[in-house]
Amino acid sequence: MRLLIIAMVFFTSLTINALAGIQDGLIIYFSFDKVDGKTIINEANANLNGTLEADAKIVDGYKNKGLGLNVDAAEGTPGADFVRVADAPEVNADKQFSLAMWAKATNFGAYRTLMSKTDGGSYAFTVEDEIPTGWIHISGDYLHIVGKTKLEKNKWYHLAMTFDGNDGIIYLNGKQDGKASKKGTITANNSDFMIGAEPNGKAVDQSYPAWHGILDDFYFYNRALAENEIELIIKQVASVEPIQKLAIKWAAIKAW
């Protein structure tokens, strides 16, 4: 029994350490399970909540609830549903960042926006011709990262993009799917952080069609995640609340 308790303490301590590490640099976490009217609660930073715009709505997601964007829109239409996070210093990454989310498309066009802050700078995560693609404005020009795998409609994928100051990497279901390199500083701008659409000032840029489908478990970090950290997120080990719950259990085990 004593060996079992020691094993439980060891495993739990490793899990707590992993959870603590994965939350370093976490700026935005939308589970889409916590919503107050039109406000999407940011479970990482209460000062950076999101707002449902146009006909964006909460629907069944990958895990629990998710974000439905233009889910009933006809194929070929640009769409206008999105979530807005007001511009703030925390979302103006200058050296590193990571984005991660679950995504399912109800239809594709030549271009679909997962998230964007690009309007004369910054970064965007898109799907072009069914292929995950990243754009990062660095030192006056865009770094263009293109994945290798074509996505299918009505199928869930975990998508992530990271930049560490030199390498931009796209991950599909936890594995590297595309990479491009450009060293430099990310160009800041005052555009809002928009999920599901491209900004044009404070409005939607209709020339870059919005996402048609559902997004879930959306993460934004101010650092580049490693591949094993993205795998933790996919396994749902990395949610915001369990650290405290595990810590309580660990204390109880040690006191037993």
pLDDT of residue 237: 52
Claim to verify: residue 247 and residue 168 sit in the same structural domain: no
**For residue 229, what are the contacts with CB-CB under 8 A and spacing of at least 6?**
21, 22, 238
pLDDT in tens, the chain (256 residues): 555 544 444 444 444 444 556 889 999 999 999 999 999 999 999 999 999 999 999 999 998 999 999 988 877 677 789 999 999 999 999 999 999 999 999 999 889 999 999 887 899 999 999 999 999 999 889 999 999 999 999 999 999 999 999 999 999 999 999 999 999 999 999 999 999 999 876 667 777 889 999 999 999 999 999 999 999 999 875 455 544 444 434 344 344 4
Residues 75 and 194 in one domain: yes
* Residue that is written with structure tokens 């369990």 in the block: 242
Q: What is the pTM of this model?
A: 0.86
Q: Where are the beta strands (DSSP E) in the chain?
A: 26-30, 35-36, 39-40, 50-53, 57-60, 65-69, 82-85, 97-105, 111-116, 123-128, 131-138, 141-146, 157-163, 167-172, 175-181, 193-195, 199-200, 203-204, 213-221
Count of the separate structural domains present in the chain: 2
Name the helix (H) or strand (E) containing 31.
none
Residues in the chain: 256
Alpha-carbon distance of 84 to 199, in angstroms, equals: 9
Q: Can you tell me the distance from the alpha carbon of 6 to that of 18, in angstroms, rounded to the nearest whole number?
A: 18
List the one residue out of 97, 141, 143, 107 whose CA is nearest residue 127.
Answer: 107
Same domain, yes or no, for 36 and 14? no
At 1 the pLDDT is: 53
- The CATH number covering residue 118 comes to 2.60.120.200
Q: Both 125 and 184 in a single domain?
A: yes
Determine the structural domain holding residue 213 and report its residue range: 26-238
- Does one domain contain both 87 and 197? yes
- 211 and 124 within one domain: yes
The pLDDT of residue 209: 87
Q: How far apart are CA 240 and CA 208, in angstroms?
A: 33
Q: Return d(Cα 248, Cα 242) in angstroms, integer.
A: 10
Task: Say if residue 108 is in the same domain as residue 158.
Answer: yes
Distance (Å, whole) CA 12 – CA 118? 41
How many other CB atoms are there within 10 angstroms of residue 3's CB atom?
Answer: 7
> Is 164 in the same domain as 244?
no
**Within this chain, do residues 185 and 244 fall inside the same structural domain, yes or no?**
no
Question: Do 10 and 62 share a domain, yes or no?
Answer: no
Are residues 129 and 218 both part of a single domain?
A: yes
Pair (233, 253) in one structural domain:
no
